[in-house]
């Protein structure tokens, strides 16, 4: 008797019928747009403020230096949590 492939799992309640998500792909629901992460899903919260260089958008989390390695921007104000808004 030939073995047939397993049927795909039914869509989650917040996914429209007929939606297809590859196995292991993260679920992105309404909470992703609001920046709220549900610990019961695979959603990823947005980057915290100051995680990107304000000039080149390089990810500066975890750097030991106060200069962006990509463009050389001084990150002291970013690390101190000071506003980058000029007014």
Predicted confidence at residue 66, as pLDDT, reads: 83
Tens of pLDDT, residues 56-65: 988 888 888 8
d(CA 59, CA 77): 15
Give the model's pLDDT for residue 71: 93
Integer angstrom CA distances of residue 4 from 1, 7, 9, 45:
9, 9, 15, 38
Give the separation between CA 14 and CA 24, rounded to whole angstroms. Answer: 17
pTM beyond 0.75, yes or no: no
Per-10-residue mean pLDDT for the chain, 87 residues long? 71 60 61 52 57 86 84 78 56
- Parse the chain into domains and list their residue ranges: 48-87
């Amino acid at each position: 008797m030939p073995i047939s492939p397993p049927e795909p799992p039914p869509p989650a309640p917040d996914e429209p019928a007929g939606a297809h998500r590859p196995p292991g792909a993260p679920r992105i629901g309404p909470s992703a747009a609001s920046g709220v992460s549900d610990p019961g899903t695979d959603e990823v919260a947005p980057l915290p403020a100051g995680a990107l260089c304000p000039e080149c958008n390089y990810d500066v989390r975890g750097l030991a230096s106060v200069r962006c390695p990509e463009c050389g921007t001084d990150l002291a104000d970013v690390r101190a949590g000071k506003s980058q808004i000029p007014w």
